[in-house]
Each structure stands twice: as structure tokens, then as C-alpha cells.
Amino acid sequence: MLDLGPFSDEKFDAKRWVNTSCQARHPQDSLERHLVDLEMKLQIASEEIGASLEEQSGGALLRVPRATRDVLRLRDDAVSLRSSVAGILQKLKKAEGSSAECIATLARVDCVKQRMEAAYKTLQDAAGLTQLSSTVEDVFASGDLPRAAETLASMRNCLSAVGEVVAEFANVRKQLEVLEDRLEAMVQPRLTDALTYHKVDVAQDLRGILIRIGRFKSLELQYSKVRLKPIKQLWDDFETKQRANKLAGERSETQRLSSGDEVQLTSSTQTSFASWLPTFYDELLLYLEQEWK
């Protein structure tokens, strides 16, 4: 079989190929016969290559129209797809517009609903305020201080919700302040007694009443007043004892002079402030420890 490799070389030289082929013949073959065989092989190879080229060219020519049809079909599909996408986008825009309108409508409806609910609650507060105002005296008459505090707190909440546009409600505010002062005055004696005698549970209940009506400041003032009184008494004891000792010394001096006794006192009964101060601190610390228990 003829080797076609050399014919693929770009530097192919026909003369050299012929000479090389002749030199490579069998020694017993004549040159003429070798050339005839070589010519025949070249012709057969050329015919085979030509037939192959013709066949492949025909197939290529047949494939070109098919590829063209595929390209045209793809183009039509792309145009159809683009049209479909445009239609979908248009529908989305319409849906978005209608959804926005629906949401805006729902927002307006919800706003109206909230206003109606607020108006309804205000009406309830107004009705409750009127009812509480008419029954608060009965609550005070019962002597139930926690219930009275709860009633006053409810009245204040209702009044805050209703406002004072109506004249009757403005009068309720004045009435409420008077009632809170009245309740505070009722609590004060009991609170003083509870703080003085360490009635913890009672003091806590009264504290809750004052906080409920917004009078916590009154609780602080009352606590300070009750608790500072014994501390102030401890502090004043120094002056009291000094005054008593001074009077006792003056009486002794007067008696000595009247009796003619010339014996002089060698020691003073007066206590210095520096020596008394540690005693005050000890008593104060003891008092605070009892308070913390």
C-alpha cells in the first residue's frame, strides 16, 4: 500500500520522492516495472481520494441547507420567546399596579378602622369616667383604701384618654386632685404608725396605695420624717446632756458658796464633743442595723 505521508509535507519534492522510491525497490524488480506499479498505485490512491472528497463535499452541501433551516428555526424561536417574555413583563406591570392600588386601599381602610377603634375606646373611657365619678364617694365611704386608690387610678387613666375638651371632664380633673389629696391624708397616719412600729406588711400595702395614685414623693417624705426623728434625738442628746451638766454644776457651785465651803471641784462633769462622737456613731450604726433587718 502506498504511503501518503510524504505528500502531506509542505516541502514535498516530487523528484526526490520518485528517486527515493526507486532506490527503495526490490533488487530483483526492474526499474520499468517498479515505475509502472508506482504509477498505478498513485492513480488508484488519487481516485480514492477524489471519490472521498466528492462524497464529503456532497454531504457538506446537504448539511448546509439543514443548518440554515436550524438557524432560521432558532431565530423564530428567539423572536417568539422575546414576545412571550414581553407579554409576561406587561402582565407583571399590570399586576404590580393593581396590587399597589389594592394595598393603598387596604391601608386607607385599616386607617379608618383604627380611628373607629380609637373613637370607640375613647367613648368607653368617657363612660367609665362618668361612672367612676358617680361612685367614688361610696368607695371612700367604705374605707377600702386599696379600692379607692384603684378607682382614682382608673379615673386618671380615663381622663388622660378623654382629655379636657368637655367642661365636665375638666371639673373631673379638679375633683380627682382633691380626692387624691384626701386619700393621701387618710394614708399618712397609718403609714406613720406602720413605720414607727415596724409593721412591714402594712407599710408595704400603704406604699402600694401611694404609688398607685402617683404620690410616691409623699412616701419618701414621710419615711424620712419618721426615721430621722430618733436620729435627730440622738444628735440632740449631746446638747441636752451638756445643758443638764452645766445646770448641775452651777447649782453645786451656788450651794458651795452659800455654805462657805472653800473646797473646789477638781474634776469637770462636762463631756467633750470629741469623746461623745464615737458613742453617737455606735448608736447610729446599731439603729441602722435594726432598720435593715
pLDDT at 85 over 60: yes
pLDDT at 103 over 80: no
C-alpha cell read off for 207: 406604699
pLDDT at 267 over 50: no
C-alpha cell read off for 171: 371639673
pLDDT at 278 over 70: yes
Best mean pLDDT range from 2-6, 186-190, 225-229, 269-273: 186-190
Q: Which of 19-23, 39-43, 204-208, 236-240 has the lowest mean pLDDT?
A: 19-23
Q: How confident is the model at residue 266 (pLDDT cuts 50, 70, 90)?
A: very low
Measured between alpha carbons, how far is 72 from 88 in angstroms, rounded to an integer? 24
218 Ramachandran zone, left/alpha/beta (phi>0; psi -120 to 50): alpha
Measured between alpha carbons, how far is 146 from 154 in angstroms, rounded to an integer? 12
Measured between alpha carbons, how far is 179 from 155 in angstroms, rounded to an integer? 11
> pTM of whole model > 0.75?
no
Task: Indicate the Cα dihedral angle 175, 178, 182, 183, nearest 10°.
Answer: 60
Average pLDDT estimate for 145-167: 81
Measured between alpha carbons, how far is 5 from 28 in angstroms, rounded to an integer? 26
pLDDT at 263 over 60: no
Best mean pLDDT range from 8-17, 61-70, 253-262, 264-273: 8-17
Q: Residue 141's closest CA among 82, 183, 92?
A: 183
Give me the pLDDT at residue 265, please. 45
Give me the pLDDT at residue 186, please. 92
Give me the pLDDT at residue 99, please. 65
Please, how many CA atoms are within 13 Å of residue 142, restricted to the half-sphere of its CB? 12
Higher pLDDT, 190 or 134: 190
Q: Which residues contact 169 (CB under 8 A, 6 or more apart)?
A: 126, 129, 159, 162, 163
pLDDT mean across residues, the chain: 77
Give me the pLDDT at residue 57, please. 72
Q: Provide the 10 A C-beta neighbour count for residue 148.
A: 24
